Structure 1
Amino acid sequence: MTREEALELLKTHVTNRNLINHCLACEAIMRRLARHFGEDEEVWGLAGLLHDLDYDYTKDKPEEHGFKSVEILGDSVTEEIKNAILAHCEKKTPETLMERALYAVDPTSGFIVAAALIRPEKKLNVVDVPFLLNRFKEKGFAKGANREQMKSCEDIGLSLEEFYALSLEAMKEIANEIGL
């Protein structure tokens, strides 16, 4: 599956623009991490882009989240991508580097968006890593962003500071596309 085909598929199955933006942000971060680790950016990017493909179908049935995406995707993507999708929502234990990365990336994109939205400018270009690290310590900030899941970046050999730097860099590259 090409990136263009994946994006069309995502837009067919996901109706919420904010969720599409979340998937685009996860794609960008996954691509940046792939580059950092010398992995295949296309494969990692597809995993990030498609990880919430089934959200409209499973938002009220979280036990099906991930499984429905795998069903929709069928044979159009590799098992590696399908396993990463399952691992991001804890339907399998994250084992590979890509699975562990997507698991950490998922809440991080929303956390970074929340950090941008509390700034008066409502733009990513005013967010920096120290700002993110300070917000990380605030339990009341972006409560939905699982801190342990983000901190699992250590399982891929990155400190939280390094992980945030790579993630923020990736999201800033697509800021206009995601409206930030």
Structure 2
Amino acid sequence: DDAEFWGIVGLLHDVDFEQYPNEHCIKAPELLREAGVGEDMIHAICSHGYGLTVDIKPEHEMEKVLYAVDELTGLIGAAALMRPSKSVMDMEVKSLKKKYKDKKFAAGCSREVIENGADMLGWDLPTLWEKTIEAMRSCEADIAAEMDKI
């Protein structure tokens, strides 16, 4: 089932990041193979590090989406925290655009990767921003509820 496959990819895409931050997407295949994960899923997981740490190019549309939004969600999350609401629920593309253009804001979020990802998908940046904001809105309440339990 595609939804289950991509859900697992989303959950596992940073499997090596905390333990091996300087080898992100490099150590992942070893860890995932040890856990019995298939090569198609390993490719999908590791391709989001394309051009940063690995040469595994995103091929499937969902791999391209993960590649594009992994950096972008960090930037949007940082922008949300600067808002009075601390939320994406009231965020508009025009306010994100201002933050995006400021290279000092969320400087660790690669604009180059975001732009390459949009190009891979055949989308302009405002389309990618809008789709990502909408996706983040759709799960914000659930994430907040889970965080409250911690």
Q: Same fold (TM over 0.5)?
A: yes
Equivalent residues in 2 for 1:11-30 (5 A)? Answer: none
- TM-score with structure 1 setting the length: 0.69
Equivalent residues in 2 for 1:4-83 (5 A)? Answer: 40-59=2-21, 62=22, 64-74=23-33, 76-83=36-43
- TM-score with structure 2 setting the length: 0.81
How many residue pairs are counted as aligned between the two chains? Answer: 139
Highest RCO, 1 vs 2 (Cα 8 Å, sep ≥ 6):
1
Stretches of structure 2 lacking an aligned partner (at least 5 in a row): 146-150
Task: Give the aligned CA root-mean-square deviation in angstroms.
Answer: 2.1
Structure 2 counterpart SS, 1:52: coil
Equivalent residue letter for 1:94: K
Q: Matched residues in 2 for 1:165 and 1:76: separation?
A: 36
User: Using a 3 Å threshold, how does the CA distance of structure 1 residues 128 and 102 change in structure 2: closer, same or farther?
Assistant: same
Structure 1 counterpart SS, 2:95: helix
Equivalent residue letter for 1:158: W
User: Using a 3 Å threshold, how does the CA distance of structure 1 residues 78 and 167 change in structure 2: closer, same or farther?
Assistant: farther
**Which residue of the other structure, out of 77, 81, 84, is the alignment partner of 1:117?**
81
Q: Any runs of at least 4 consecutive aligned residues in structure 1 with deviations exceeding 4 A, and if so which?
A: none
User: Identity across aligned pairs (percent)?
Assistant: 37
Preserved contact between residue 86 and residue 92 of structure 1 (Cα < 8 Å): no
Structure 1 counterpart SS, 2:18: helix
